Amino acid sequence: MSADMQPIELIVSHRGVQHRLSLLPNDTIALLQARLEELTSVPPYLQKLLFKGKKANIQETDTLSLAGFKNGTKVQMLGSTTEELGRTLSADTEHQRKERILRERALKAPVKVRSTSSPSTSSQYTFNRIEPLAHLPEPASARALLTRLANDPAIRHVMQRHHLAVDLLTELAPHEQPHLLGLNVNAGQAIKLRLRTDRYDGFRLYSEVRKVLCHELTHNVWQDHDNNFKEMNSQLNREVAEFERAATEGTHHLVGSGDAYQPSSELEAEAQTYILGGTPILPGDESREERRRRLLEATMKRLQKEEEELEERCGTTAS
């Protein structure tokens, strides 16, 4: 076995949690980032990885060994989820801020009582049936993924909240409709999602499929990709994120208000950027506010681009 084929183990710390990953030296940074996104919900463009021996100007097409990773490398990861940033964006005005606080309060309540039965939720606003395509490989895995999407507490939450009912949740065959990622038939008769990779060697990332699901759920209400559509779609994405954030905070029993939440490990990690970073941004170089604004602008552009691609690869209006 050549050295290239020996797997390397990385220990990645994020918000006080350690994740162990085993990859090959020839694997790309992009693959590492995708694995980290699965584990932490932090999208690649917001992931900041700090470790000893890190090379400058790492590209996502670089291999792990080229970037300086070795077996046993300890990595400190910084980064917020897209949704957390979206939440900050929505706090631009006082009015929106108040709305957000009220929403978060409303969101926190059901999380606490989740273990008890909740008679107030209607069984009408959900998916009636789940059907994988029987002629594609591993239909049981496809069914499991569709079931996970349908039972996703955050998805259930937005469906109840916006009174969205869908009869059938099923999948699209990549070789039959190579261009499409999602499709909503007759405003809720069926939602079809691309679950599989082009070559049928696996399934797409859960977070990506769920994002397409939010897009297609929006088509239950709005047919075209107009401003009404965009507004509701980003609202659904935000609510999904906020629900998850509230749920996470509920399980960790953190003290203090949601806005004050900043674990000490995060602060430590930020401090380390000044120590370990190749080209450190010193606190005096640029105000926190400016940096935050730049990051938000970049994130907005990225999200817009992602959404444009979804619109292009959505079959709802074309049908």
Question: Using CB under 5 A as the criterion, which residues of the chain lie in contact with Ni ion when the complex forms?
Answer: 314, 316
CA distance 154 to 110: 11
CA distance 127 to 120: 18
Q: Count CB-CB contacts under 10 A for residue 214.
A: 22
- For the record, the structure tokens of 60 come out as 């996502």
CA distance 27 to 170: 32
Residue 140: CB minimum distance to Ni ion, A? 29
Residue 225: CB minimum distance to Ni ion, A? 6
Q: Say if CB 66 and CB 4 are below 8 A apart.
A: no
Looking up tokens 């989820």 gives 81
DSSP state of 225: S
Q: Which CB sits closer to Ni ion, 269 or 314? A: 314
Sign of CA dihedral 215, 221, 222, 223: positive
Instruction: Estimate the crossing angle of helix 82-89 against helix 288-312, to 10 degrees.
Output: 110
Q: Which CB sits closer to Ni ion, 28 or 316? A: 316
Q: Which CB sits closer to Ni ion, 63 or 223? A: 223
Q: Which CB sits closer to Ni ion, 76 or 233? A: 233
Residue 183: CB minimum distance to Ni ion, A? 8
Residue 314: CB minimum distance to Ni ion, A? 3
Radius of gyration of the chain (CA): 21
Residue 316: CB minimum distance to Ni ion, A? 4
Nearest residue (beta carbon) to Ni ion? 314
CA 232 vs. chain centroid, Å, equals 18
Kind of pairing between the strands at 74-78 and 8-14: parallel
Q: Which CB sits closer to Ni ion, 47 or 316? A: 316
Residues 6+ apart with CB under 8 A from 15: 40, 263, 265, 266
Q: Which CB sits closer to Ni ion, 167 or 312? A: 312
Residue 131: CB minimum distance to Ni ion, A? 21
- For the record, the structure tokens of 32 come out as 């590492």
Q: Which CB sits closer to Ni ion, 32 or 214? A: 214
Residue 312: CB minimum distance to Ni ion, A? 9
